[in-house]
Amino acid sequence: MNYQVNENGFYGEFGGAYIPEMLHHNIEELKNCYLEIMQKESFKQEFSSLLQDYVGRPSPLYHAKRLSEKIGAKVYLKREDLNHTGAHKINNTIGQILLAKHLGKTRVIAETGAGQHGVATATVCALAGIDCVIYMGEIDTQRQAPNVERMKLLGAEVKPATSGSKTLKDATNEAIQDWVRNAEDTFYIIGSVVGPHPYPDLVARLQSVISEEIKKQLTEKEKTPNPDYIVACVGGGSNATGAFYHYLNTPEVKLIAAEASGKGVNSGKTAATSVIGTPGIIHGSKTMVMQTEDGQIIEPYSVSAGLDYPGVGPLYAHLHKEKRVEFITITDDEAITAGIELCKLEGIIPAVESAHALAVLDKLATKASDIIVVNLSGRGDKDLNTYTNYFN
Ligand SMILES: *Cc1c(COP(=O)(O)O)cnc(C)c1O
């Protein structure tokens, strides 16, 4: 089975580039050169040296002994939470800012919902000395005020999107309009394995460093590159893609995606796209989408701002259909419980997103000899209020 994107930008029936005519030129430019640039020695060297000295890679693969004892299997945590800026998102934005520089772009735009991708983008723009404009729904700028402050401190301009529902999809629309007006000098940094081709493939390649490291680290610790399971949470799918990438064609490694079901799959307050989604188009690609019968997007919900996305990257729609990845839904209650448990057992406060992956451990039929890698996508400093107030 082939899980790579084909030359038309599709994974099986999903993917492609469903974009307005006016964006055709921008997307073509990127499509025609991203692989060539990424294969240049100069790009590879700069990328890997920044990952090492700026981000702090390789991130440790930590054997969580007390958690393992409780689960009854050997659990390793891939510590993306220890990266600069506190999550995996920086791996991608570092790569895209280098691409922007190679293309001679002098300005960057991005959209952000919870603000995590906005912060990661503002960070690399400061690093590269490139102008940065972040579009964010006006309502989100109020809900996520600390991240707005961070972006501003890093030198970015934050533009509140005031149209429509004043949330992520409106920010996306306004960012796209900006890109159409400023195609010459502006690079659009997308934050997950979503959007029109070639973005899903580009982001997948940049995040694949995670599984490259897991292979090496596990070989050192266990004399085999292959665990029995790899578990990751899925919003758009970028941290999961990073953790799964070099294992997609190794069927003996079971790949598990933790999806946020919010208050429950049938509660009307959910983000479980794999269960209630149907094929449709969102953010420029064909994938599984939470939508009504007449194609209106259903507003997603999860306690975790990073997972309440009404679609999933096209690669995930494909991996789900081909059954290469098993999707397990996790409720808010289950995630918060698993997150608090990790604090007490290991002294690590995980992001609420990552807590969804941890909650899967209780649901696997494991045996004592099993090796499980959980991708700990981010740290939970941003989620203190959520943890503290949840059960009170
Ligand atoms: C953004 C985010 C996610 C969800 O995004 P993916 O593209 O699915 O990885 C998960 N965990 C953390 C910590 C995040 O910041």
**pLDDT tens digits, one per residue of 72-119:** 999 999 999 999 999 999 999 999 999 999 999 999 999 999 899 999
* Domain at 56-86+208-391: CATH architecture: 3-Layer(aba) Sandwich (3.40)
Q: Is the CB of 83 under 6 A from ligand 1?
A: no
* CB 378 near ligand 1, within 6 Å: yes
Helix, coil or strand: residue 214: helix
For the question of residue 259 being annotated catalytic, the response is: no
Domain ranges of the chain: 11-51+89-198, 56-86+208-391
Residue count of the chain: 392
Q: What is the pLDDT of residue 169?
A: 82
3-state SS class at 356: helix
Stretches where the chain sits below pLDDT 70 are none
Residue 261 annotated among the catalytic residues of the structure: no
Question: Which of 307, 316, 342 for mutating ligand 1's site (highest number of atoms within 8 Å of CB)?
Answer: 307
User: Do residues 256 and 360 make contact, with C-beta atoms less than 8 angstroms apart?
Assistant: yes
- Residue 41, φ and ψ in degrees, nearest 5: -55, -40
pLDDT at 154 (0 to 100) = 98
| Tokens of residue 123, six digits | 């960070």
Tell me, what's the pLDDT at 109? 98
> Closest Cα to atom 5, ligand 1: which residue?
235
Decide: 81 in ligand 1 pocket, CB within 6 A. no
Note the pLDDT of residue 38: 98
CA distances from 229 to 36, 257, 342 (A): 33, 11, 19
CB atoms within 10 A of CB 252: 8
CB 357 within 8 A of CB 79: no
- pLDDT score for 44: 98
Measured in Å, residue 117 CA sits from the centre of ligand 1 at 9
Contact 269, 263 (CB under 8 A): yes
pLDDT at residue number 167: 84
- The domain 11-51+89-198: what is its CATH number? 3.40.50.1100
Q: Which amino acid is at 68?
A: S
Is 377 considered catalytic here?
yes
Question: Do 11-51+89-198 and 56-86+208-391 come out as alike in CATH topology?
Answer: yes
Give yes or no for a contact between 269 and 244, defined as CB atoms under 8 angstroms apart.
no
Q: Ligand 1 center to residue 63 CA distance, Å?
A: 22
pLDDT for 232: 98
Q: Residue 237: which region, alpha, beta or left (left: phi > 0; alpha: psi -120 to 50)? A: left
